[in-house]
Structures are given as structure tokens and as C-alpha cells.
Structure 1
Amino acid sequence: MEAKRLRLDMISNLPSSVIEFILSFLPFKEAGRTSILSREWKHHWTNHPKLEFIENVVEGDGLSERLRMLSHAKSKLFNDINQVMSMHQGPIHEFSLSMFVAGRCVEVDRIIDNLSLNNLKKLTLDMSGYGYQLPESLFSLHSLTDLYLRHCHLDVPPTFSGFGSLTNLHMENTIITNKMLLLFLSNCPSLKTVVLVSS
């Protein structure tokens, strides 16, 4: 019993910088679960620099049942994202969102708007659906080094001044005209890797 208490005290008495260093190696969901370890660990997950959200696959007996469950799952996911982002205290360096979206989605637009206030380095938007229409606020993420887009629709505004730090670009089944793709690529002078995949 004494040995167990000693181990707990060792975990509780780690410096904040060490706790945050440890959490940086964990996936976001697992980092959040460490809040039960002790009172000192309770809020450290709110400084986690990598956020990842994946929509659960919805199964049901009929189409109307699946649509109802899908709507419920989406509401829960957006509620979770909003709650996490409102509690998050540190910078967000990596953000990943995987979900089904068709066309415009105001909730995702708001998330990207909020990310523009951070020093975001890596953005992954895996939108299995019919081409999520990316908002213009995407182009204000000037610190991006990695951009992964899947099933998105990208309209490059004529005022786009470029992503000077972008080194890795992956576009899969992303709707973009040749002219806009040229405009986009010509304004990303640091690109080292470009992957374009289309079905």
C-alpha cells in the first residue's frame, strides 16, 4: 500500500513541463484520459498541441434510422469539438478532422475560423462525402507546413498571398480547377512534397 502511494506521489509531483512533454507523445484522446491520474494532471490535457476528431461510423436498419443516427452523431461530434476548443488553453499546432460532409458546413467553417487564431502547423481535413466547400478563412492559416485535404472543394481567392511555410501538400479527390491549382502552387514557394490523387 505504501509503495502504491509513493508511485502516485511521484506522478503527482512531476513538474508541469514534464507532464506536458509526456502528453505531447500521446494521442489527444489518451491525453485527455490522464486527467484522472491526479489533481495535478487534471487540466494539463488542455495544453495538448494536437487535436484529432473522428466521426463514428453510423449503422442502422433503414435509411431513415441511419440518417437520424448520423444527425445525432454529428451533433455530438460538434458539441465535443466546441467543448474541447473552448477549454483548450495552449496553442494548437496540429488539427485533424475526419467526418462525412456534403457541400457547405457552417460548423466546420467555424472550426477553421477558430484555428486561424492559432499558430497551426498541420491541418488534416478528411471529409468523406461530396466535396466540402472550404471557407476563405483557410487561407489565413499562414503558419501551415502540412496540409492534407480529402474530398474537399477548394476555390483559391485571387487575393491569396500564399503559404510561405507549406512544405507538404496532399490533395485527394479534391475539387479544384487547373487554373486555381496553378495559382495555389505558385504561391507556396517552400513546397517539397506534392501528392495529388483523383479517382
Structure 2
Amino acid sequence: MRASFKERRASRKVRGSDKISYLPNHVIDIILTYVPLKDAARTSILSHQWRYKWVNLSTLVFDNTFGRVRNLVSSRYKLLMNIFQVLLVHDGPIYEFVLSVPGLESCLEIDQYLNFVSKKGVQNIILQIWKGKPHVLPQSLFSCLQLIHLSLCCCVLNKPPPAFRGFSKLVYLILREVAIDAEKLSSLIGKCPLLEHFTIESSRSYDYLEVGAPNLKFLHCNAQFENVIYVTTPLLANISMSLKVLRNEEAFEEEWTLLELLGCHSVIEDLHLDYYYLKSWLKGGACFSLDHLKVLKLSAICFGMTNEVTCAHLLISNCPNLQKLAFEAYSSQEGLTVHDVEFYVELHQKDLSSCQVRELEMLNISVSWPELEFIKIMLSKLLKLEKMLIAPNFKTVADGGFNLLKEVAKFQRASPKAVIKFKDW
């Protein structure tokens, strides 16, 4: 029986006042993607149209928003069971799986979660163990052959099964405090032909790091390696190398040249080095230039150590197209000597007229005489400088940096466009 005119008009009124119930399915999917998983599940009560739509979500994020009940961290058992309940009712593919709940410890349930998503075509996995011993990853991880993004924190990555031929689609690989030996790590990198971004941060020591990835563009290493070997990395344009060792430790007996450290990469555009790698320039490093380098950051540089400043100056001189330069200072307790004064007098005479730097950052400045002298030199030599950012070390600068800013404002500037900005942490 056809509805009467009044019934059709009433239906249109309902639809007009309840637009959320009649949103297209693809719009509902987008909305659910941008809300926490727990809230997505609650949308089932909105209307028949929304009921159980959340069980088809292709992105499952179990983070701090999922693990809290009335602003308190859930009990371990309840948390793990809640995750199981979500997975059991889930229907369809899972493209992204994030497990990063504060307080999460290694447990067998994590293996079961990974085994479940490995059969769902997962493309992105982020797993972070927050406390306790590292989690030994199951072999099922190596069956996630659709992976594009893999990020692991506080895990153990053992040898893959013999049938494993690699992650043929992996683009991003991020390892933080992951236990894996040098041979397995190098083999894993070599079996990721599309890898573009590789990050490793670890307090462990490695014999070597062999990087063989033809599409690699970004390499970030914050660990202790005795050797870095570059094999087939023609596109590598962004390198960040730093060591987790104390300044008074001799990290390696063998000194490298910067040329060896960077693997003869002429396409580098963004480079971040710490003081140890900078010192390697002393061994014949000034014989080549980085023509494509646009951004250079040097960390833990002590301006009271003349050899480090010499290396920094040489590196700047050999980067003809450098646009941005940043220094993160390291404060030394050593007193000023006559040699230091003579060194900076000579440094004032060196030419930097060809330098193209437009942006300069001086970070963690403690207002020591060498630091101020170096700032004075940079301001007086950089003809294209447009902005200098100064950030003091507030642990050593008692007045909030006011006197530092006042002192620097007096320095002569080679560039009429140079503006000095002060960063209040």
C-alpha cells in the first residue's frame, strides 16, 4: 500500500531534522576514522544506519584514549580483553594496526593480536612496549607481506623463517630500542627494495650497519656503530648520524673521513651530525664539497674546542648552496686560554662571502665567550642571512637570556636583512 501524502511529508521532515542518520556510507567511514576507537564503537546507538559500522574500520588504534576508564588506566586484564573483543567482532580488512597503550608490557596476547592482523592484509603496524622487558616478536610478523609502514619500540626481532623473501612493499622502517644483530638488520634492509625512510635509535652497540636500499631517501641513526657501509643508495638525500657515547669516551680506535661516513653521496640535501662525526673531517675531509646540501645541523658542538669549530667552519665552506644552518651547543667547564683567543682572532679573518646561508639557529647557548664570538663571526660574514634564531640554555642562563639578546643585538651584521629572533623555551 502506497504511503499517503501526509506520511511522505512526515518522513521528509524526519530526514531533514536527522541528517546524521542519512549520511552516505563513505562519509560515515571517514568520520569514524577520525574519532577514538572507543567512541567509534559507541556510535552504534545513533541510528540503524550507524549500527555496527565501526566493526568495518580498516584502522584500529589502541592507544591512551582506548586504555583509560574514567581517567584511570584500565587493569591489565580488562585492557587485553577489550582488545580481544574488538578483534573478534571486526569484519573486513585491517590496513593499520596501532598498539601503544601506556603501561603496556610484553605478553602472549600481543602475539595473538599480530597473528590476527597478519591475516587481514595489514599495511601499517605500530607497536610500542612501554615498560618491562622487550617483547620477542612472533614469526607471524614476517607473513605481513603487504606492510608499507613498520614502527617497533622495545622489541626483539629474531631471524625470519627460511621462506621469508622480504617486505617487498615496505617504505617506512622505524626501530627504537629493538634488539637485532648487525647481520640480521643489514639483511632486513636489503630485503626491502622500496624502503625510503629508515630510522634506528638504540642504546646498544653494533659491529656495523650495511645500508643497501636503492630507493632510500632518509637515514636517521642514533646508535653506536663501528662502521657504516653504503651499498646502492643513490637517492639518499637526508642523513642524521649521532652517537650514544659520552664526550670523554673514545668511541672507536679507527678514525674515518667524512667522505667515508657519508658514502660519497653527492645528492645529500639535509645533513645532521654530532660532534664525533664532525671531528672525522680532520682526516682529509676538506677535499670534497656537498654541492646539493641545503640544510645542515651540528649537535653537541663545544665552541671552546677549537678543533670542533675548525671542522664546522670547513664543512660550511664546502657547502656552496647551504640555505639553513643550525648549531646545538655543548657547554664546557674548561676555562678560556690564550690559544682560544688567538684562534678566534684568526677565525675572524677567514672568508665566508660565498656562503648562501639565509637562516641560522644557535641553540642551547650558555653565553660563554667562545659562543658569543662565533655568533659575532657568523653575523659579520653571512651576506645573505635573513634570520638568526637564538635559544639559550636556561639551566645556565639565569636571567632568561635577556642579557644574551642585548649583547647579540650590538653585533655588526653583514646582511641588512638579518633579523635576530629570541626563542623562549
Match of 1:192 in 2: 196
- More moved, 46-55 vs 138-147: 46-55
2:39 aligned with 1:19, yes or no? Answer: no
Q: Select the residue among 147, 151, 156 that pairs with 2:150.
A: 147
Query: Highest relative contact order (Cα 8 Å, sep 6+), 1 or 2?
Result: 1
Q: Deviations over 1:67-115 (max 9, x none)?
A: xx99x7221111111111111112111001124324xx22111111111
Q: Distance in 1 between matches of 2:17 and 2:58?
A: 26
The aligned runs of 1:20-39 (5 Å cut-off) are 20-39=29-48
2:123/2:149 contact within 8 Å kept: yes
| Equivalent position SS for 1:185 | helix
Structure 2 counterpart of 1:63: none
Q: What's the % identity of the aligned pairs?
A: 37
- The change in CA–CA distance for 1:107 and 1:10 in structure 2 (over 3 A counts) is same
3-state SS, counterpart of residue 75 of structure 2: helix
The aligned residue for residue 178 of structure 1 is 182
Check if 1:75 corresponds to 2:84. Answer: no
Aligned to 1:138: 141
What's the CA shift string for 1:97-145, capped at 9, x where partnerless? Answer: 124324xx22111111111111111000001232100000000000000
One-letter amino acid of the counterpart of residue 49, structure 1: S
Q: Deviations over 1:121-178 (max 9, x none)?
A: 1000001232100000000000000000000000122522100000001100111100
Indicate conservation of the 8 Å contact 1:31/1:48, yes or no: no
Name the SS for the 2:100 alignment partner.
strand
SS of the residue aligned with 1:96? strand
Q: Which runs of 5+ in 1 are unaligned?
A: 58-68
1:169 and 2:178 matched: no
Q: AA paired with 2:166? A: G
State how 1:70-149 maps to structure 2 within 5 Å: 73-99=75-101, 100-102=104-106, 105-129=107-131, 130-149=133-152
CA distance in 2, matches of 1:167, 1:123: 12
How far the C-alpha of 1:7 sits from its partner, in A, is 5.3
Q: CA deviation at 1:27?
A: 3.4
Rounded to whole Å, the distance in 2 between the matches of 1:197 and 1:12 is 47
The answer to whether the aligner puts 1:44 opposite 2:46 as a matched pair is no
Larger radius of gyration: 2
TM-score, normalised with respect to structure 2: 0.40
Equivalent-residue separation in structure 1 for 2:138 and 2:76 (angstroms): 19
Give the unaligned 5+ runs of structure 2.
Answer: 1-9, 204-425
How many positions carry a matched residue from both structures? 185
Q: Secondary structure at the match of 2:130?
A: strand
Mapped to 2, the partners of 1:80 and 1:186 lie a distance apart of 38
Tell me the distance in 1 between the aligned counterparts of 2:61 and 2:34. 13
Scaled by the length of structure 1, what TM-score is found? 0.83
* Structure with greater proportional helix content: 1
CA contact 1:156–1:183 (8 Å) conserved in 2: no
1:77–1:8 Cα change, 3 Å: farther
Shift of 1:44: 0.5
Aligned equivalents of 2:161, 2:49: Cα separation in 1? 49
User: Cα gap change, 1:171/1:12 in structure 2, threshold over 3 Å: closer, same or farther?
Assistant: same
The farther-off stretch of 139-148 and 93-102 is: 93-102
